[in-house]
Amino acid sequence: MTAYNGYITDETIEGADDGPLAAKTVAVKDNISTEGVRTTCGSAMLDEYVPPYDATVVERLKDAGATIPGKTNMDEFGMGTTTETSAFGPVENPVAEGRVPGGSSGGSAAVVAAGDADLALGSDTGGSIRCPAAFCGVVGIKPTYGLVSRYGLVAYANSLEQIGPIAPTVEDAAELLDVIAGPDEHDATTQEAPDADGSYAAAADGDVDGLSIGVPTELLDGADEEVVETFWTALDDLEAQGASYHEVDLPSVEHAVEAYYVIAMSEASSNLARFDGVRYGQSGGYDGNWNDSFANAREEGFGEEVKRRILLGTYALSAGYHDKYYKKAQDARAWVKQDFDEALEDADVLASPTMPVPPMERGESLDDPLTMYLADANTTPVNLANLPAISVPAGETDTGLPVGLQLVGPAFGEREIIRAGSALA
């Protein structure tokens, strides 16, 4: 166990004797299924759940020779931005005392930042790889929707999420992406990238000469002053290496957080229906009434944030309100996608701060879910548009808090964001 509570389970899983990751340890977020090793999703509901099969990404890690040192701590079912909603206790930020590590893949970013694993896998529904990478001063990639198999990932919001790498450098993250990317017969949403030949790691050559960067002004508005300063310093660094930048407009992103939370909660309310103590989860007992039994299991097994989201998602999908909330959110999603596509016609990549704020103080956001949701302003639009994005360390605030720079690329443009990001980290 680590002092900062990075792992929920620290059981070692050995991979093949050789392969591209034979010398590496790769920690795995605890919502990714590992055969014979419990997979809790940070929830009391799945405290004792041991999957009978490996997620496709875990199979690929093992085939590549990786050693999995354990399952990392996370916000319950991936719902959070600070890794404080885990039933196994909060994770501390190993590089910023008293601060949160970001979430929901906070354990994965923390073990990499602390050097307790070489690499890690996280999952990103609305920023959960990029946010903790930014807050812990490491690199995180959220792949294009469909590049990486979700088979064996316990679903939070299927239409938004992807598994992706967290690593100390862009090249390391790209090496891990090489291992996990590619179609999977168990996940019909996966597809072959148009440029599937060749490795992502080879794209990490740091060459940004002639790169055109679009900066969406909307993603700087309202961000913390020091974060914005650090962001511009990193952009100047890219400019000095031959890149150029211009401002772009993404008017729709104003509605992205609202649309994201309506869609994510709606999908969550449906996905989490299976945790009733009969199909999955801790039993709620039975004294002649199954409704009571299900209610007991869910009352005891789920934490507050998860309950809040199931209730709101059920409401948004209910017959009388479906058109007012869910359908509207889908319209906003289409608009966000269109804005990104247009902005990417005149730019190779888009750049913004990954998070509008530096890592929050521990405990600060727990009583204020709305403020926590708003911290996802820059990451959630990318999931709505199903695009790839990377967070790389941009520098630090005056008080030494890590700041991340986010680069967004066109669909299956992983190589572009990897190349650009590798000029900084």
Per-residue b or e along 137-163, where b marks 16 or more CB atoms closer than 10 Å to that residue's CB: bbbbbbbbbbbbbbbbbbbbbebbbbb
Closest separation in Å from C-beta 213 to ligand GLN: 25
CA distance from start to end of the chain = 29
Catalytic residue among 33, 86, 104, 352: 104
Select the residue interacting with ligand GLN from 94, 106, 127, 359 (CB under 6 A).
127
User: Which window, 118-126, 211-219, 274-282, 288-296, contacts ligand GLN (CB under 6 A)?
Assistant: 118-126
- Binding string to ligand GLN for residues 306 to 325, with x set by CB under 6 A, is what? --------------------
| Closest residue to ligand GLN using C-beta atoms | 128
Q: Of the candidates 34, 39, 43, 104, which one interacts with ligand GLN according to CB under 6 A?
A: 104
Rounded CA-CA distance 199/12 in Å is 28
Q: Answer yes or no whether residue 155 interacts with ligand GLN by CB under 6 A.
A: no
Question: Which residues, numbered 60-99, are part of the site for ligand GLN (CB under 6 A)?
Answer: 78-81
Q: Among residues 54, 92, 124, 178, which is the contact residue for ligand GLN, using CB under 6 A?
A: 124
C-beta closer to ligand GLN: residue 43 or 81: 81
At closest approach, how far in Å is the CB of 358 from ligand GLN? 16
SS3 279: coil
Residue 43 is among the residues annotated as catalytic for this protein: no
What count of other Cβ atoms lies within 10 Å of the Cβ of residue 293? 18
Q: Which helix (H) or strand (E) holds 120?
A: strand 119-124
Which of 65, 126, 216, 359 contacts ligand GLN by CB under 6 A?
A: 126
Q: Find the shortest distance in angstroms from Cβ 58 to ligand GLN.
A: 18
- The CA-CA-CA angle for residues 218, 139, 379, to 5°, reads 25
Query: What is the CA angle 350-354-360, rounded to 5?
Result: 165
Segment lying near ligand GLN (by CB under 6 A), choices 2-10, 123-131, 207-215, 414-422: 123-131
Which tokens belong to 95?
A: 């590089």
Output 264 or 344, the one with its CB closest to ligand GLN.
264
56 lies in the site for ligand GLN, by CB under 6 A: no
The least CB distance from residue 222 to ligand GLN, in Å, is 17
CA distances from 195 to 162, 178, 189 (A): 19, 12, 18
Residue 294 corresponds to which tokens in the numbers above?
């299900």
Q: Is 29 a residue of the active site?
A: yes
Cα-based distances in Å from 124 to 14, 18, 106, 165, 306 = 25, 29, 11, 10, 17
Given the rule CB under 6 A, which residues bind ligand GLN?
A: 78-81, 104, 124-128, 156, 264, 376
The residues annotated as belonging to the active site are 29, 104, 128
